[in-house]
Amino acid sequence: MEERASGRGRLSLAGPGRRARAAGPPPGRPPAHHLEVVRERRNEGIGTQLLRAAEQRLHTKGHRRVALGVNLDNHAAQRLYSRLGYTEWPHGKLATTETVYHPGGRRELRPEVCLVMVRHLG
């Protein structure tokens, strides 16, 4: 798992030999994990730029498809992904876990069902 933080947004990627926590997407679709833009800088195109930059990086590394999971009621994120060419994969919803961050740094894993969206790169 690789994380990049710029102070404006962050995106973690699973790379070759590194598994994302959500086991589901088949080989060839590296899962993108946790895209988030600080609240006060949303709706400026930063999420779009982060995702495009991540896709370009994955493409450069030889990946031809990317998959990501999104909460069923996260319509803002689903709109973003649809606009960028992602479509729901044909295998149904995915049971996974979400990480909840508590004050003080404690992390809690909770069961979550998500929609998996995929896109061909290049």
H helix intervals, the chain: 46-60, 75-83
What's the CA gap between 95 and 5, in Å, rounded? 27
Residue whose C-beta lies closest to ligand COA? 47
Q: Which of 62, 35, 29 is nearest to 50 (CA)?
A: 35
Choose which of 2, 28, 48, 56 interacts with ligand COA (CB under 6 A). Answer: 48
Query: CB-wise, 46 or 53, nearer to ligand COA?
Result: 46
37 binds ligand COA (CB under 6 A): yes
CB under 6 A: which stretch of 21-29, 39-47, 87-95, 103-111 binds ligand COA? 39-47
Q: Identify which of 62, 79, 122, 71 has the alpha carbon closest to the alpha carbon of residue 99.
A: 71
User: The tokens of 122 are what?
Assistant: 């290049």
What's the closest the beta carbon of residue 83 comes to ligand COA, in angstroms?
A: 6
Q: How many residues bind ligand COA (CB under 6 A)?
A: 16
Q: Which backbone phi and psi does 117 adopt, to 5 degrees?
A: -120, 140
Q: How far is the CB of 42 from ligand COA (least distance, A)?
A: 3
Q: 115 with 78: CB under 8 angstroms?
A: yes
Stretch that binds ligand COA, among 16-24, 41-49, 58-66, 89-97 (CB under 6 A): 41-49
DSSP 87: E
Among 10, 21, 77, 88, binds ligand COA (CB under 6 A): 77
